[in-house]
């Protein structure tokens, strides 16, 4: 329970921090998972990117996150690509400057972007601007600490990783495309963990299990919900994981 009594018999709310990744428009599963972990205003949610594309209602998930004060959004490659198009061809997604831009846009649509476009295109201009501003403010990484342990939260991995290099020395693109190498430990300190999404864990486990991977200083939490796997929430304070069943494979 999140409530405990102290010496004065007052209720103390224990703040829990949860991490979810690669929601990919699975709004039903996302809301079900928040309900399952009893997510409250006292808690905090870190979303490791790829909120958008592929699933039924990506913009619905994003708007839910925007309406909560206790959510930190970390950029994923799918979110970044959508942001890139809003920035280069305008909020109405119509102002193509070249054939190359049109080609890139069509490629995105074919790679899961259609559901994002469907949810976005008829929104009022004010909401489109709010969505752009929200994605623009997404973080490239977050570090959390608990009981002497350090957790580094990024979407995909850390490209050209060097342990001596400060996280601020990397660019956003270093965190959102390059898959982590789950066979090796990145940080020699065994109390430092790299927490990632991006790579569905079914591709890490030899038995193709859709569960969180915890080994070699890694915590990989993309359990492939949109592909019929699961959506996972990892809790920093307890080290426990809650799951909800994946979406149907109709994507």
DSSP 8-state assignment for residue 180: P
DSSP 8-state assignment for residue 179: P
For residue 223, which of 238, 208, 206 has the smallest C-alpha distance? 208
* Residue 3: CB atoms within 10 Å: 9
Q: For residue 246, what pLDDT is reported?
A: 76
Q: Coil, strand, or helix at residue 33?
A: helix
Cα–Cα distance for residue pair 37/25, rounded to 1 Å: 19
For residue 235, give the H/E element and its range. strand 230-235
pTM reported for the whole predicted model:
0.92
Q: Are 70 and 166 in contact (CB under 8 A)?
A: no
Helix spans in 22-124 (H)? 27-36, 58-66, 77-89, 99-108, 114-120
Q: For residue 251, what pLDDT is reported?
A: 34
- Residue identified by tokens 């102002």 is 95
Q: Coil, strand, or helix at residue 19?
A: strand
For residue 15, which of 35, 45, 36 has the smallest C-alpha distance? 45
**Along the 251 residues of the chain, how does pLDDT read in single tens digits?**
454 444 455 555 679 999 999 999 999 999 999 999 999 999 999 999 999 999 999 999 999 999 999 999 999 999 999 999 999 999 999 999 999 999 999 999 999 999 999 999 999 999 999 999 999 999 999 999 999 999 999 999 999 999 999 999 999 999 999 999 999 999 999 999 999 999 999 999 988 889 999 999 999 999 999 999 999 999 999 999 999 997 654 43
* Residue 201: CB atoms within 10 Å: 23
Cα–Cα distance for residue pair 224/218, rounded to 1 Å: 17
Q: How far apart are the first and last CA of the chain?
A: 37
For residue 81, which of 111, 60, 56 has the smallest C-alpha distance? 111
Provide the sign of the torsion angle of the four alpha carbons 19, 198, 23, 141, taken in this order.
Answer: positive
Cα–Cα distance for residue pair 156/180, rounded to 1 Å: 6
Could you give phi then psi for residue 116, rounded to 5 degrees?
Answer: -65, -45
For residue 71, which of 123, 108, 18 has the smallest C-alpha distance? 18
Q: For residue 14, what pLDDT is reported?
A: 72
């Amino acid at each position: 329970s999140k409530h405990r009594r102290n010496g004065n018999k007052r209720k103390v709310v224990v703040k829990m921090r949860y991490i979810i990744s690669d929601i990919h428009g699975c709004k039903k599963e996302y809301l079900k998972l928040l309900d399952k972990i009893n997510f409250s205003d006292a808690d905090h949610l870190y979303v490791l990117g790829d909120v958008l594309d592929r699933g039924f209602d990506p913009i619905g998930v994003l708007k839910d996150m925007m309406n909560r004060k206790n959510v930190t959004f970390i950029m994923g490659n799918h979110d970044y690509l959508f942001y890139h198009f809003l920035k280069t061809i305008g909020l109405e997604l119509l102002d193509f400057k070249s054939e190359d831009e049109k080609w890139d846009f069509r490629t995105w649509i074919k790679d899961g972007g259609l559901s994002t476009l469907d949810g976005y295109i008829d929104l009022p201009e004010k909401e489109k601007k709010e969505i752009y501003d929200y994605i623009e403010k997404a973080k490239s990484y977050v570090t959390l600490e608990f009981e002497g342990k350090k957790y580094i939260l990024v979407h995909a991995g850390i490209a050209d990783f060097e342990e001596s290099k400060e996280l601020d020395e990397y660019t956003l693109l270093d965190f959102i495309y390059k898959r982590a190498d789950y066979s090796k430990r990145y940080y020699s300190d065994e109390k430092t963990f790299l927490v990632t999404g991006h790579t569905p864990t079914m591709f890490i486990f030899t038995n193709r299990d859709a569960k969180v991977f915890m080994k070699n200083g890694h915590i990989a939490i993309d359990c492939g919900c949109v592909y019929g796997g699961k959506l996972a929430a990892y809790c920093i304070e307890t080290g426990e994981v809650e799951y909800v069943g994946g979406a149907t494979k109709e994507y």
